[in-house]
Amino acid sequence: MRLKSELYKKEQDGIIDKIISILDLENKNTYTLYELDKNEEIQKQIMELIPEIRKWFAFNNMKAVGEPDRIKRPWLSIIKNLLKSKYTIENKEQQFKINEKWIKSPIYIFTKV
């Protein structure tokens, strides 16, 4: 039996490209976790891809796709899992100020492979 990665390469690339466009990685290559947590539109669009991901990807190792209710940030897990074929994702800590309040949040830096 052939792997889904061989059979559905074109479809998988299409889904990865959708995530890249949702995050607008062509124009912006860094996101803080704080920023992603606040952006419900990005979360919603990525979560809407779950049925397609189930169809075209082997998702045994992706709990975010199989059981999204059991994970705190399934959309973040999907981003990290699917983009790792085209991007390296570096994770650093960052502090910044919003409305006179200091916020500490991981920052994700996406670099094309």
For the stretch 88-106, pLDDT in tens is: 999 999 998 888 899 999 9
Spell out the residues 6+ positions from residue 25 whose beta carbon is closer than 8 angstroms to its own.
87, 110
Question: How high is the mean pLDDT of the chain?
Answer: 92
Region label for 24, one of left (φ > 0), alpha (ψ between -120 and 50) or beta (otherwise):
left
Structure confidence at residue 97 (pLDDT): 87
Whether the pLDDT of residue 108 is over 80: the answer is yes
**With 0-12 CB in 10 A as exposed, 13-18 as middle and 19+ as buried, what is 52?**
middle
* Residues 45-60: tens digit of each pLDDT: 999 999 999 999 988 8
Spell out the residues 6+ positions from residue 45 whose beta carbon is closer than 8 angstroms to its own.
22
The 8-class DSSP code of residue 39 comes to -
**With 0-12 CB in 10 A as exposed, 13-18 as middle and 19+ as buried, what is 79?**
buried
Whether the pLDDT of residue 5 is over 90: the answer is no
> Model's pTM, two decimal places?
0.89
**With 0-12 CB in 10 A as exposed, 13-18 as middle and 19+ as buried, what is 78?**
buried
Band (pLDDT 50/70/90 cuts) for residue 29 is: very high
- Per-residue tokens: 39: 């952006």
